[in-house]
Amino acid sequence: MAEKKKILIIDDEEDFGKMVKLNLERTGEYEVKCETKGGNAVTSAKAFLPDLIFLDVIMPDVDGGEVMGQLNANAALKNIPVVFLTAIITDREATQQDGIVAGRPFLAKPITTAKLIACINKYLK
- Smallest distance from another protein to CB 31, Å: 17
Considering the rule CB under 8 A, would residue 124 count as an interface residue with another protein? no
Give the one residue of 22, 73, 118, 124 binding another protein; rule: CB under 8 A. 22
Considering the rule CB under 8 A, would residue 101 count as an interface residue with another protein? no
Q: What is the DSSP string of 29-81?
A: SEEEEEE--GGGHHHHHHHH--SEEEEES--SSS-HHHHHHHHHT-TTTTTS-
Q: How far is CA 115 from the centre of its chain?
A: 13
Considering the rule CB under 8 A, would residue 15 count as an interface residue with another protein? yes
When the beta carbons of 15 and 61 are compared against another protein, the nearer one is: 15
Binding mask 56-85 for another protein (x = CB under 8 A): --x---------------------------
Instruction: List the interface residues with another protein, window 32-61 (CB under 8 A).
Output: 58
Give the one residue of 3, 88, 102, 125 binding another protein; rule: CB under 8 A. 88
Contacts of 65 (CB under 8 A, 6+ apart): 57
